[in-house]
């Protein structure tokens, strides 16, 4: 009797398991969680007061009565900051969800179908990719007029090209694998292959790209509102608050620093979370040159 393959015994057994520890990731997640929690809680229980109400003298510095000071109209900075944070987060999250839906459909089709469908989708995403994000946002603001709709559509159009490319690349490599070929041969329909076989296998890419898109979304909202074409007063958003803060910088620097700090911490946390997710998804080896 002849055997043609080498006997396979159980490979390297795991001796003990160490929990993955990443202090940076935990810190980032806590910071972001705190920002989201406080901003959302303020909508339910208005502990910081009404952001539209004039509560005291104009431009008074932070004190016990006005924890973050008051703005140029005498409104509470804390209340406006919480409202602004909420607006920014809601707008960018909403936009990223739209981006994800569009990109996943386009990316899966491009990655699976290839050929002309892919070519068309990639050219379209190249067209959008050719505009610097803030320039594209300005073009959109010119068409739809300043406001939340401009912010929302800008974020979607700015983030769609990159995410579509990444999803399509991931889908393409999955589509080459044997289980997809097998499914195809056994007559499984294209939508089923796309959503049952490809989608779960590119979900990691979607999560990572979605996270990065969220930080881009906050940046775009900030930039557009900062230029005056995003969220319009009397509503507030982080970008708008920073722009207002900038104009009273010399008399009342707290107007600038509070929203700037929230914005930077939010973007930084999201980027760090994205980095960690990417490293988990695609663990990198390293090589020493010694």
Long-range contacts at 41-49 (CB < 8 A, ≥ 24 apart): 42/79, 42/82, 42/83, 42/86, 43/82, 43/86, 46/79, 48/76, 48/78, 48/79, 48/82, 49/76, 49/78, 49/79
60 touching another protein, by CB under 8 A = no
Cβ neighbours, 10 Å, residue 16: 4
Q: Least separation, in Å, of the C-beta of 49 and another protein?
A: 26
- The rounded distance, in Å, linking the Cα atoms of 194 and 200 is 9
Residue nearer to another protein on the CB measure, 113 or 188? 113
234 touching another protein, by CB under 8 A = no
* Residue selected from 26, 65, 143, 149 as contacting another protein according to rule CB under 8 A: 143
289 touching another protein, by CB under 8 A = yes
Residue nearer to another protein on the CB measure, 49 or 129? 129
186 touching another protein, by CB under 8 A = no
Site for another protein in 77-96 (CB under 8 A): none
243 touching another protein, by CB under 8 A = yes
Residue nearer to another protein on the CB measure, 76 or 133? 133
| C-alpha to C-alpha distances, 29 to 49, 76, 119, 273, nearest whole angstrom | 27, 28, 38, 7
Give the x-and-dash track for 189-218 against another protein (CB under 8 A).
--------------------------x---
Q: Are 159 and 129 in contact (CB under 8 A)?
A: no
Residue with tokens 């695609």: 282
Site for another protein in 257-286 (CB under 8 A): 260, 263-264, 267-268, 271-272, 275, 280, 283-286
Give the H or E element holding residue 281.
helix 254-281
């Amino acid at each position: 009797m002849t055997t043609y393959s080498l006997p396979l015994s159980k490979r390297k057994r795991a001796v003990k398991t160490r929990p993955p520890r990443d202090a940076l990731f935990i810190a980032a997640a806590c910071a972001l969680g705190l920002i989201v929690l406080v901003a959302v809680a303020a909508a339910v229980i208005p502990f910081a007061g009404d952001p539209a109400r004039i509560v005291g003298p104009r431009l008074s510095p932070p004190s016990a009565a006005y924890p973050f000071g008051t703005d140029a109209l005498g409104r509470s900075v804390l209340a406006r900051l919480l409202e602004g944070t909420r607006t920014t987060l809601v707008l960018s999250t909403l936009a990223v969800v739209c981006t994800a839906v569009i990109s996943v459909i386009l990316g899966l089709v491009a990655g699976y179908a290839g050929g002309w469908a892919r070519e068309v989708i990639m050219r379209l995403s190249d067209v959008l990719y050719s505009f610097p994000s803030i320039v594209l946002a300005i073009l959109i603001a010119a068409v739809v007029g300043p406001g939340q709709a401009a912010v929302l559509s800008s974020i979607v159009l700015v983030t769609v090209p990159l995410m579509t490319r990444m999803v399509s690349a991931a889908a393409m490599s999955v589509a080459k694998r044997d289980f997809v070929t097998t499914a195809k041969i056994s007559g499984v329909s294209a939508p089923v292959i796309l959503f049952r076989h490809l989608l779960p296998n590119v979900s990691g890419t979607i999560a990572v790209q979605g996270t990065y898109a969220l930080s881009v979304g906050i940046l775009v909202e900030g930039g557009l509102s900062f230029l005056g074409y995003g969220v319009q007063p009397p509503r507030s958003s982080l970008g708008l608050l920073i722009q207002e803060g900038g104009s009273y910088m010399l008399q009342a620097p707290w107007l600038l620093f509070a929203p700037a700090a929230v914005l930077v911490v939010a973007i930084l946390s999201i980027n760090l979370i994205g980095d960690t997710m990417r490293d988990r998804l695609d663990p990198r080896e390293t090589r020493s040159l010694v």
